Structure 1
């Protein structure tokens, strides 16, 4: 059980770090494209929305798990 928890924690931290790095890459790419006059295709807007979307997803999954746990009592 402990190994499962540690593995899950490492997977979540790794995914979070990957998203943080991806955000930086997309922001730099969008800034360069904006300075050169090219369209960004909404990439910067999508990247800025990622923290809110992922937080919402975590809350929704947590609420769903809580409801399942309470219903199973």
Structure 2
């Protein structure tokens, strides 16, 4: 349970660090617009994690080639 909680907290922390626009404050009272904002934030965070994974995979590939 603790490991799962830590992963969620790490994701949320990275999302806050990466996020932009009103420092994460939802300024709209429309639940649909709030959900859109949260989903876009999650998509941006996931894209950042994916980009890092690709970078790490490339570095590992280069290291393996170099021996």
* TM-score (normalised: structure 1): 0.47
Larger C-alpha radius of gyration, 1 or 2?
1
TM-score, length-scaled by structure 2: 0.50
Higher relative contact order (CA 8 A, sep 6+): 2
